[in-house]
């Protein structure tokens, strides 16, 4: 089976989460992992810039949600399995804790974020969270500075969809990171 399935002009990752984490995600090239739920894929059809980014080789689109799997089925493109964004996030955090990689988390409200950081540090012992900041900031330049001081291997962005995707792509060239991922409400889940 090919690694990607083509639908609506997008290439959607079409293997299991283990292959995604072990083989597809490289830690030496700058990439965005996009949780491809129907809402963001639809947004990408109506936004020229997002569309270009989603189709670029910088992006790995993961089929997030039953809606995307059904969409592919309707188009007679069978997907191996749905891969939920939170599963990808927790798998990436596990890799980071095992391989001593740096993580920066941006997003959610202050209290939720603080709880999430504590829970992540507990669950993924030894993880290097090099910085974090809530998602209700005004000074984007300051946020860029903080991210770049840290140069994270993994940049987690929880600003809701499509704000987080726009943030990542608009600032793609200004930020030093290896893998970036918009995670929607996942920080709320980890902070709960």
In the bound complex, what is the minimum distance in angstroms from residue 135's beta carbon to ligand UDP?
2
- Cβ closest to ligand UDP, residue 101 vs residue 158: 158
Question: Is residue 38 part of the contact set for ligand UDP (CB under 6 A)?
Answer: no
- Cβ closest to ligand UDP, residue 3 vs residue 171: 171
SS3 letters across the chain: CCCEEEECCEEEECCCHHHHHHHHCCCCCCEEEEEECHHHHHHHHHCHHHHHHHHCCCEEEEECCHHHHHHHHHCCCCCCCCCCHHHHHHHHHHHHHHCCCEEEEEECCHHHHHHHHHHHHHHCCCCEEEEEECCCCCCHHHHHHHHHHHCCCEEEEECCCCHHHHHHHHCHHHCCCCEEEECCCHHHHHCC
Q: Which stretch binds ligand UDP (CB under 6 A): 61-69, 92-100, 154-162, 167-175?
A: 154-162
User: Using CB under 6 A, which of 161, 168, 179, 180 touches ligand UDP?
Assistant: 161
Question: Is residue 187 part of the contact set for ligand UDP (CB under 6 A)?
Answer: yes
- Cβ closest to ligand UDP, residue 12 vs residue 187: 187
Footprint (CB under 6 A) of ligand UDP, residues 118-147? 135-136
Binding mask 63-102 for ligand UDP (x = CB under 6 A): ----------------------------------------
User: Using CB under 6 A, which of 20, 108, 143, 156 touches ligand UDP?
Assistant: 108
Chain contacts with ligand UDP (rule: CB under 6 A) = 107-109, 135-136, 158-161, 163, 184-185, 187-188
């Amino acid at each position: 089976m090919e690694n990607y399935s083509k639908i609506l002009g997008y290439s959607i990752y079409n293997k299991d989460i283990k292959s995604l984490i072990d083989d597809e995600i490289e830690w030496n090239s700058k990439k965005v992992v996009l949780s491809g739920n129907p809402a963001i894929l639809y947004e990408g059809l109506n936004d020229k810039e997002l569309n270009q980014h989603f189709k670029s080789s910088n992006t790995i689109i993961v089929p997030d949600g039953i809606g995307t799997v059904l969409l592919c089925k309707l188009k007679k493109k069978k997907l191996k399995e749905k891969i939920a964004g939170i599963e990808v996030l927790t798998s990436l955090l596990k890799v980071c804790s095992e391989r001593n990689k740096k993580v920066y988390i941006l997003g959610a409200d202050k209290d939720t974020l603080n709880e999430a950081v504590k829970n992540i540090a507990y669950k993924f012992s030894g993880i290097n969270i090099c910085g974090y900041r809530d998602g209700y900031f005004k000074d984007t330049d300051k946020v860029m500075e903080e991210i770049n001081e840290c140069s994270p291997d993994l940049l987690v962005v929880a600003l809701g969809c499509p704000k987080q995707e726009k943030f990542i792509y608009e600032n793609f060239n200004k930020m030093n990171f290896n893998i970036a991922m918009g995670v929607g409400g996942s920080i709320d889940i980890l902070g709960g």
